[in-house]
Amino acid sequence: MFNWAKQQLANVAGTQEPIYGPDAIQPVTKQAQDTPYTEVQKDDLKWVAMESTCVETQTFYIVADSGLLGMAQVIYSNVAGLRTTCQFNAKIFYQDGKTPNLWSSDPLSNTRFDKDKYNFYADNCSLELSPDGNTYTIKSNTNKQSIVNLTFTKVAPGFVVGKNGYSYFGTDPAKPWGSMRHAFWPRCKVEGSILTQAGEVNMGGRGLFIHALQGMKPHHAAARWDFVNFQSPSYSAILMEYVTPPSYGSTVVSVGGVATDDKIIYAGATNSAKHVEKKQDTENDWPEPVATAYTWDGKSSDGQAFHAEAAGSLGPRIDRVDVMAEVPGFVKAIVASAAGTKPYIYQYAPKLTIKVKVGDEEKEEEGTLFTEATFISGEY
């Protein structure tokens, strides 16, 4: 009875959950044992827009030919079925040592979807999927510092890991109370620009699109994350790994894949993200990564043994994001003490070499690795 009461409080206030154990999560890694991945079709890209607690995002990551990095994102949030908010975020990482990152984040008004939920609209903002399901057009005039006009065209197939990409949370597998899903377009052609107050910035290059759904409170689903987006002339490598809080057995869930033009070489759940060297961030006590190693292992799409790795120094971080920076101080203090959360995202973009081995054939190629290490709660 006490655990039930704690769960009700957690549902409303976001406090820590009871210890349910690892059997209370049905990770997508189990699906992937039989079905490593499934190609994404147009219907898989519909907005879910849950009427209960959720965070749903469509995020477009850019590695521009100019060397700039960028991001555009719509976040749809529902708090306990009581209030829905939407936000448009845009970011440019200049990395020239002189120009500060451009960051804009704006609430959206009059949000709506088309009848099939392929397209998202708000005042001065739209995300539209082409009728053939191969191109997204992202437009935003919500912030005069960053007027966005981009297109992402899929050049390799999209995928979800497992049969449907979902991990489910709950003590009764037939009636889960939470979920997590990521759908990827790992390799896209990017065209367009972001108009800033300093002028128009050409963002043409390569990109990654992710449609993510956290069908529960984010800090209940994961205590920490590692995210990798590697883009080079021949390869795109994606890795999304999270560790659940102790309430779900500190379970590691890792999804990812490696693609080239027109082809998924590998996708599945047997990947890893390791922080091989780290230092203590004196401002918030998180162990900031200094050097990392990312691996992808399994069978290639044509059934051969597959291994890929990218490892090395991360170099100086390009940003550190205080996720709760815009939350009023007293709310921040309550959440930190009650739920044990102090979320920070550490972002890096080193030049690294990926090694890809399919069967007996091994190739290497240098590219740009954009990575995020996110710490939310607990010990690391």
Q: Are 68 and 91 in contact (CB under 8 A)?
A: no
Domain membership of residue 270 (yes or no) is yes
Give the integer Cα–Cα distance in Å for 309 and 298.
Answer: 12
In a domain, 23, yes or no: yes
* DSSP 8-state class, residue 173: T
Which region among 111-125, 133-147, 275-289, 312-326 has the lowest average model confidence (pLDDT)?
312-326
Can you tell me whether residue 323 is helix, strand or coil? coil
Q: What percent of the chain has pLDDT over 90?
A: 77
Q: Taking the mean position of all CA atoms in its chain, how far away is CA 33?
A: 23
pLDDT at 5 over 90: no
Tell me the pTM.
0.93
Distance between CA atoms of residues 246 and 91, nearest Å? 33
Average pLDDT of the residues in 230-253: 96
Listed in sequence order, the DSSP H helices in the chain are 2-13, 28-34, 218-221, 329-339
Total count of domains within the chain: 1
Residue 380 lies in a domain: no
Question: What domain range includes position 275?
Answer: 1-375
231: nearest Cα among 110, 346, 124, 350: 350
Exposed e or buried b for every residue in 23-34, given b needs 16+ CB within 10 A?
Answer: ebbbbbbebbee
CATH number of the domain to which 3 belongs = 2.40.370.10
Tens digit of each residue's pLDDT (9 = 90 or more) over 59-69: 999 999 999 99
Least confident interval from 48-52, 86-90, 91-95, 250-254:
48-52
Residue 142 lies in a domain: yes
Residue 354 token pair: 């990926």
**Per-residue pLDDT band at 315 (split at 50, 70, 90):** very high
DSSP lists the bridge partners of residue 73 as: 59, 89
Q: Which residue in 170, 248, 221 sits closest to 341, CA to CA?
A: 221
Kindly state whether residue 137 falls inside one of the protein's structural domains. yes
CA 169, 170, 175, 180: dihedral to nearest 10 degrees? -10
- What is residue 219's three-state secondary structure? helix
Residue 118 DSSP one-character state:
S
Q: How far is Cα 317 from Cα 332, in angstroms, rounded to an integer?
A: 25
> 337 lies in a domain?
yes
Domain assignment present for residue 179? The answer is yes
End-to-end Cα separation, the chain, in angstroms: 31
Q: Please, what sign has the CA dihedral across residues 93, 96, 258, 276?
A: negative
The answer to whether residue 114 is domain-embedded is yes
